[in-house]
Structure 1
Amino acid sequence: MWGSFFSGGKDPLKELGYEVLSDSQQASSNPRSIWTILNGKKKATGDLVTIFSCQTDAHINLAKGALKRMKTLRHPNILTYLDGVESDKAVYVVTEKAVTVETYVNELKSNNNNATTFNAEDLLEIAWGLQQLCRVLIFLHDDCKLSHGNINTSTIFVDAKSCDWKLGCLEFVQSISEDQLNLPSRFLPSCQRYEPPAGPSKKGTNSQKARDIWFVGTLIWEIFNGNGATSATSYRQLGSIPRPLSAAYGELINTNPSLRSSFDKLIQSPYIENNSLVECLLFLEQIQLKDPGEKQTFFNSLPDKVDQFPSHINERKLLPLLFNAYEFGSSGSAVLPTLFKLGKRLSDSDYKKRIVPIITKLFASTDRMTRFRLLQQLDIYVEHLTPAVVNDDIFTHICTGFTDQEPAIREATVKVCF
């Protein structure tokens, strides 16, 4: 597959230290992107990655431009670039492991044994994803003065590590001060039906922003209704778009570009702004800006809220944020009730992978309340501690409790040792 890349038949991915996994051999080109998306891994570590491959002559220059953008654009919600290589005949871009939003939302539905609708947890998660998408597009437009040019369910991705939504496929990115240089539909006929309708003639910055805004509207429509739209008029029918999102959605697809909504207004829609998962994750991301009273109120209510959230979001996104809140947000032992509640839902292997490292770091804390609560609740997590972890990472810290100046900690230390 890769032999034509360099003379001598060298495999460019092996030269970079990556290989394509066998489950990628039947991968096909995405009709709304110039890339074939392949599953791969880094040979040295075994870490899973996503490999974007372009070997179509008509798309090579676009792919080279995308590779350059991936190297230089950095944002938490842009796919993390790992490596890349190019020649006159092919371009490969290696990123963190991710799947398209189209694949991801279809998996959400299939997990519910329903191919057409989302459950309440899914709706919470999609709102978080749209909030992240808005943030990165605001960054792209306002800070970088760039437009994406081809936003759809095949060019937005969800990473495997934390389920964050991220921009990818940067081949049509350009300055917002210029007219659209390369229309996606010119290279990808499947994109024609997603083009915004002809409105009042506008050039420059507002025109490029308006195109991206329209595309976010069509992406929302496809998330909730599938890819059955045949023309711009199809998007006037709300279908399964949630009612709290409907007003903001309608402003995104206004036929007059100058009247389309901003991403700030979309974030302020009831569907996103009044979403408990969005509120929770934003609070934890901004924990260092919160005062002690706000933190106390938040952590007191959090254990009850997490029952509403998708389990994979709790494990991959919420747990790391909880630890960050402890380590960098001066949240102390307030994180422990939620931490232990989430831990009960994990398998033993996941508990050892996700919770035990946090517990060992918390035992090293000088905060007495944290250590006291850890000692009090030892029976909750002790079965997940291996002898090596106890001996190497915990026992020394427990022993300091025998001479602690606080009687309660001395008493709790004695109890756990018998």
Structure 2
Amino acid sequence: MDYLRNLGSAAVSSLVQKSGLNLPFSLGPKVASNETFWNLYDATKRDDSSPVSVFEYDLIHPLNKSTIPLARNALRKLRTIRHPDVLKFMDVVETDSVIYIMTERVRPLPAALQTWSAKNAQEREDWLLWGLHRVSVALAFVNESCASTHGNIGTNAIFISPSGEWKLGGFEVLSNPKDDVAVLYTMGGLLPDSMARASPEVKKSGWSSLKEQPVSAGDAYALGLLLHSIFNPTHPLPPTSQPPHPPPQPSSRGAIPPSVFPSFKKLLNPNPKARMAPKTFLETGMAESGDAFFARNKLVKICAGLDNFALAGESEKSALLRTLKESVTSFPPEFASHRVLPSLLSALDHAGASASSILPLVLALGVNVPPHEYDSIVLVPLVKLYASPDRGTRMALLDSLPEYAEKLDKRAVADRVWPHLQTGFSDTVAVIREATVRAVVLLAPKLSDRILNNDLLRHLARMQSDPEASIRTNTCILIGRLGPTLGYNTKKKVLIPAFGKAIKDPFVHARVAGVMAFMACAECFEMEDIAGRVVPCVASAMLDKEKLVRDQAFRAVELFVKRLETHAAAMVSRFLCM
């Protein structure tokens, strides 16, 4: 039957393509033929090439005729129910032959469960509880805020986003008892394996019996079976799923955490009136006392902390950042790259004093980001932060520059970093001015010739008169490093006056820097300039009151005199040859 269904789907896709229909996406490889009649594809959005997923339903396949109302119900509910933990609807294309639903990029939970089966027990338990928490939040929203029954809770109704977060989908039979087209009560049995997950009242009296029960009753029972299946994937459904529905025994706990087991038993209560609702299950797990199996979960706590970071006090922020620093190496890679990193980068927009703690974490987490994603996930948000007026953020960016400077491309530096970076030269805070000067050393190879030979040197000329001695010193050192890369006319015009000014500076280390800059740029000077301008300038420092300056001046004069002697000897040889 799956073969026939896939064959029909391929034919439909071919017909749609031949029809010339303008799809808002480009289909990629098929990910799965979902158990709820849909084919799931990886795809890319046409307008911005961002990754998305596409669910395909073949309307003309004979095997699908009876379930078309379920497909249309899934589309209708997915379009209207919006929640962070619900699969995000983006667009739909519907023809006489097919329904295409475009959503955020996801993959089926069963595939992720197989991947996680190889992890160590604690990591796996943390991830499963975090996922169960997200599903419980979504299900409580469906039951309470939407006054509806999901009716299809199971692994095939849950999808994993690129960040590793669990998203609730599978809305084929989601129904409000007051709906005119509430398909659950008449068509719930059309879902694959629906009776295996059905609650005791459904097995006894059919799906219509749910209309007389609390909207959460059927979902609560299915949630308990889901809990069992994800923690004990190799075990059969517990005996309680079959009449006479005996309560779960401690021996059947398997890998279900002991703190969760009491709630698990309440979810599987055969009496729908006494059964624990998903909302109560969520509240029990998040309680400040008692089992608190969600509240103590590392990933749940981190997500809550990141979501509320902007409103948290400084002590709470510090505690979260400390936790992140201690746990950074144990995070699931997708959680670190797509959940923690974006949240931290967003927090940097208003981080202030916390920026110095956040940015090193961002760069540490970025180490494990795949190279093809590093630019979009890490560098683009970092570069945007240069526009921030917050000095704490600017200082953090400059201090951490050695860790990411090489990864920046020339265009990003010239167009998006430099326009904001250069404002640091005139900042009223000296530490910002000095950090800006140091940053240029790393970014200079990526600056355009125009910036290097004009804009930058104008700033540096002003920095040589800065009130702070250390800034004047570092500016001279920077000009000395830049010297060999400057244009011919710029070298001739700028270097000797800049270094000569440093030699006359009242700060001893600035004078030393001036002499050493002359030596570092020895190859940049023409012989006539060495004889007429460089040596006289350096010679004036040979009688400096500080021995450190005098020693360097004698070395410099010796260096330049040797170059002049070599050149003069070559001149004699040329004259003799003539």
* Range into which the TM-score falls when normalised by the shorter chain: 0.7 to 0.9
How many residue pairs match? The answer is: 405
Distance in 1 (CA, whole Å) between partners of 2:415 and 2:225 is 54
Asked if structure 2 preserves the Cα contact closer than 8 Å seen for 1:214 and 1:253, the reply is yes
Change in Cα spacing, 1:407 to 1:238, as seen in structure 2 (3 Å) is same
Asked if structure 2 preserves the Cα contact closer than 8 Å seen for 1:196 and 1:211, the reply is yes
User: What per-residue deviation string (whole Å, max 9, x for no partner) do you get for residues 134-184 of structure 1?
Assistant: 111121111111110110000111123x22211212111111568951353
Stretches of structure 1 lacking an aligned partner (at least 5 in a row) = 113-117
Determine whether 1:138 maps to 2:140: yes
Determine whether 1:222 maps to 2:213: no
Determine whether 1:84 maps to 2:92: yes
Match of 1:115 in 2: none
User: What per-residue deviation string (whole Å, max 9, x for no partner) do you get for residues 189-233 of structure 1?
Assistant: 522211122499986574331110111111111112126535653
Paired amino acid for 1:196: S
User: What per-residue deviation string (whole Å, max 9, x for no partner) do you get for residues 369-415 of structure 1?
Assistant: 22122222221221211222222221232222222111222222222
Determine whether 1:103 maps to 2:94: no
Q: How does 1:353-364 map to 2 (within 5 A)?
A: 353-364=376-387
CA apart distance, 1:36: 3.3
Asked if structure 2 preserves the Cα contact closer than 8 Å seen for 1:54 and 1:91, the reply is yes
Distance in 1 (CA, whole Å) between partners of 2:173 and 2:10 is 28
Match of 2:218 in 1: 211
User: What per-residue deviation string (whole Å, max 9, x for no partner) do you get for residues 280-319 of structure 1?
Assistant: 1111112243233322333244311323321220111011
Asked if structure 2 preserves the Cα contact closer than 8 Å seen for 1:225 and 1:241, the reply is yes
Match of 2:53 in 1: 49
Q: How does 1:387-406 map to 2 (within 5 A)?
A: 387-406=410-429
Match of 2:556 in 1: none
Determine whether 1:21 maps to 2:21: no
Distance in 1 (CA, whole Å) between partners of 2:300 and 2:307 is 10
SS of alignment partner, residue 255 of structure 2: coil
Paired amino acid for 2:258: R
Q: How does 1:256-271 map to 2 (within 5 A)?
A: 256-267=271-282, 268-269=284-285, 270-271=292-293
Change in Cα spacing, 1:357 to 1:85, as seen in structure 2 (3 Å) is closer
Q: How does 1:16-415 map to 2 (within 5 A)?
A: 16-23=23-30, 28=33, 30=35, 33-46=36-49, 47-55=51-59, 56-86=64-94, 90-110=98-118, 112=119, 118-160=120-162, 162-176=163-177, 181-182=185-186, 184=188, 186-198=189-201, 204=211, 206-226=213-233, 228-230=235-237, 232-233=239-240, 236=248, 237-267=252-282, 268-269=284-285, 270-327=292-349, 332-333=354-355, 334-415=357-438
Asked if structure 2 preserves the Cα contact closer than 8 Å seen for 1:124 and 1:309, the reply is no
Paired amino acid for 1:367: D
Distance in 2 (CA, whole Å) between partners of 1:41 and 1:415 is 42
Asked if structure 2 preserves the Cα contact closer than 8 Å seen for 1:102 and 1:223, the reply is no
Distance in 1 (CA, whole Å) between partners of 2:238 and 2:94 is 36
SS of alignment partner, residue 146 of structure 1: coil
Change in Cα spacing, 1:89 to 1:341, as seen in structure 2 (3 Å) is closer
Q: In terms of mean alpha carbon deviation, does 208-217 or 258-267 score higher?
A: 258-267
Structure whose alpha-carbon radius of gyration is higher: 2
Q: In terms of mean alpha carbon deviation, does 350-359 or 259-268 score higher?
A: 259-268
Change in Cα spacing, 1:391 to 1:139, as seen in structure 2 (3 Å) is same
User: What per-residue deviation string (whole Å, max 9, x for no partner) do you get for residues 30-62 of structure 1?
Assistant: 1xx233334444455443422231440110112
SS of alignment partner, residue 172 of structure 1: coil
Asked if structure 1 preserves the Cα contact closer than 8 Å seen for 2:352 and 2:390, the reply is no
Paired amino acid for 2:173: F
Distance in 2 (CA, whole Å) between partners of 1:312 and 1:386 is 25
Change in Cα spacing, 1:264 to 1:325, as seen in structure 2 (3 Å) is farther
SS of alignment partner, residue 131 of structure 2: helix
Change in Cα spacing, 1:230 to 1:97, as seen in structure 2 (3 Å) is same
Distance in 2 (CA, whole Å) between partners of 1:132 and 1:359 is 29
SS of alignment partner, residue 21 of structure 1: strand
SS of alignment partner, residue 216 of structure 2: helix
CA apart distance, 1:336: 1.6
Paired amino acid for 2:425: F
Change in Cα spacing, 1:376 to 1:4, as seen in structure 2 (3 Å) is closer
Task: Give the number of the structure whose residues are more often helix, by fraction.
Answer: 2
TM normalised by structure 2 equals 0.63
TM normalised by structure 1 equals 0.86
Distance in 2 (CA, whole Å) between partners of 1:74 and 1:3 is 31
Distance in 1 (CA, whole Å) between partners of 2:319 and 2:235 is 45
SS of alignment partner, residue 193 of structure 2: helix
Q: In terms of mean alpha carbon deviation, does 405-414 or 90-99 score higher?
A: 90-99
User: What per-residue deviation string (whole Å, max 9, x for no partner) do you get for residues 97-146 of structure 1?
Assistant: 21221121112225x4xxxxx54333222222111111111211111111
Distance in 2 (CA, whole Å) between partners of 1:352 and 1:91 is 35
Change in Cα spacing, 1:172 to 1:227, as seen in structure 2 (3 Å) is farther
SS of alignment partner, residue 186 of structure 2: coil
Distance in 1 (CA, whole Å) between partners of 2:21 and 2:234 is 36
Asked if structure 2 preserves the Cα contact closer than 8 Å seen for 1:196 and 1:232, the reply is no
Paired amino acid for 1:326: L
Distance in 2 (CA, whole Å) between partners of 1:14 and 1:89 is 12
SS of alignment partner, residue 321 of structure 1: helix
Paired amino acid for 1:293: S
Distance in 2 (CA, whole Å) between partners of 1:340 and 1:290 is 23
CA apart distance, 1:2: 5.7
Asked if structure 2 preserves the Cα contact closer than 8 Å seen for 1:210 and 1:260, the reply is yes
Paired amino acid for 1:181: Y
Stretches of structure 2 lacking an aligned partner (at least 5 in a row) = 1-7, 242-246, 286-291, 441-477, 479-578
CA apart distance, 1:351: 2.8
Paired amino acid for 1:157: F
